[in-house]
């Protein structure tokens, strides 16, 4: 059987899963355990991918009455500091619906487990299907008219958002994205993006291609959230050598200047608080 000529053969395929388990035990029937309200998506740390680190990190997350995370304690290490630290940073961004006892918010705790593992075929198929789907939609939208065109444009926007939410490979994110975005847009950024995933470029590409989209304000809002998160991700990561620090400063400056020039109404906070994307550390 002929194998798919997959774009993803250059991609380190991985799966990163997380599951929460309540560890509060109460005989009071009026106790309601905490539940996740806002959960960022984690990227497999770049340095871990480069060194083929994998493992399971298990932590206890202590939750305040207001649903924010008080602190996180590692109770089972993956065996790699970079993975354990990524989980701790990830948990800082979690927001919960607080536990309730007799209808009143109370402090609580859960066990959160994150499994860092490589799983080639799943991600190989996913990236292949994403690229194939977007390519087909781009072809269809050229021939479509009126309402049908708007419907296809929304499908493209949805495909991009799903890709950003599901793609965990920080090393190869831009390499895959480069196959989708306009060549001139890729050329503008690829000399500077290094290994920093720039998810906002998918939305910038969409806005450039489809300025007639009837919900362009929504697309711009996606871009705003993505660029704020991209900046927050880059700013949080530590780099050791002078060249890497310079590259980091350059890409931050370039992103800020780009948004200032093209989207002066967008507020850059760099926190990624409202974004649907989440990238975790590179070295």
Same domain, 242 and 157: yes
Residue 124 is assigned to a structural domain of this protein: no
User: What is the number of domains present in the chain?
Assistant: 2
Same domain, 160 and 112: no
d(CA 164, CA 230): 11
More confident site: 133 or 281: 133
Same domain, 72 and 156: no
Residue 278 is assigned to a structural domain of this protein: no
Number of C-beta neighbours around residue 122 at 10 A: 12
Sign of the Cα torsion 274, 261, 141, 135 reads negative
Q: What is the bridge-based pairing of β-strands 99-101 and 108-117?
A: unpaired
Residue 276 is assigned to a structural domain of this protein: no
Each residue of 58-84: pLDDT tens digit?
A: 889 999 999 999 999 999 998 999 889
Same domain, 112 and 164: no
Q: 197 is written with which tokens?
A: 């995933």
Q: 248 is written with which tokens?
A: 């980091």
More confident site: 73 or 28: 73
Same domain, 112 and 219: no
By residue range, what is the domain housing residue 177? 131-262
Mean pLDDT of 6-32: 45
Q: Is the pLDDT confidence value at 11 over 60?
A: no
Same domain, 101 and 70: yes
Same domain, 105 and 179: no
Are 198 and 230 a contacting pair, CB within 8 Å?
yes
Q: Is the pLDDT confidence value at 238 over 80?
A: no
Q: Decide: pTM greater than 0.85.
A: no
Same domain, 105 and 148: no
Same domain, 105 and 181: no
Burial of 211 (0-12, 13-18, 19+ CB in 10 A): exposed
């Amino acid at each position: 059987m002929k194998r798919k000529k997959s774009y993803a053969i250059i991609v380190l395929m991985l799966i990163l899963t997380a599951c929460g388990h309540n560890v509060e035990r109460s005989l009071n029937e009026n106790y309601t355990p905490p539940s996740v309200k806002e959960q960022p998506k984690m990227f497999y740390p770049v340095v871990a991918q480069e060194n083929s680190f994998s493992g399971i990190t298990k932590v206890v997350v202590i939750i305040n009455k207001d649903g924010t995370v008080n602190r996180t304690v590692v109770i089972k290490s993956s065996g790699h500091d970079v993975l354990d630290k990524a989980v701790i940073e990830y948990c800082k961004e979690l927001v919960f619906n607080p536990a309730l006892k007799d209808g009143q918010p109370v402090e609580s705790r859960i066990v959160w487990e994150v499994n860092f593992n490589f799983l080639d075929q799943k991600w190989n198929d996913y990236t292949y299907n994403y690229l194939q789907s977007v390519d087909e939609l781009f072809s269809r939208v050229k021939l479509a008219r009126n309402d049908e065109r708007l419907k296809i444009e929304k499908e493209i926007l949805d495909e991009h958002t799903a890709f950003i939410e599901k793609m965990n490979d920080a090393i190869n994110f831009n390499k895959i994205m480069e196959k989708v975005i306009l060549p001139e847009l890729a050329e503008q950024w690829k000399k500077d993006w290094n290994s920093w995933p720039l998810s906002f470029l998918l939305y910038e590409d969409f806005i450039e291609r489809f300025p007639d989209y009837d919900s362009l304000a929504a697309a711009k809002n996606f871009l705003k959230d993505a660029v704020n998160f991209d900046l927050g991700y880059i700013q949080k990561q530590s780099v050791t050598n002078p060249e890497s620090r310079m590259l980091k400063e350059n890409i931050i400056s370039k992103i800020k200047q780009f948004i200032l020039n093209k989207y002066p109404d967008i507020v850059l906070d760099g926190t990624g608080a409202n974004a649907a994307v989440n990238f975790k550390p590179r070295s």
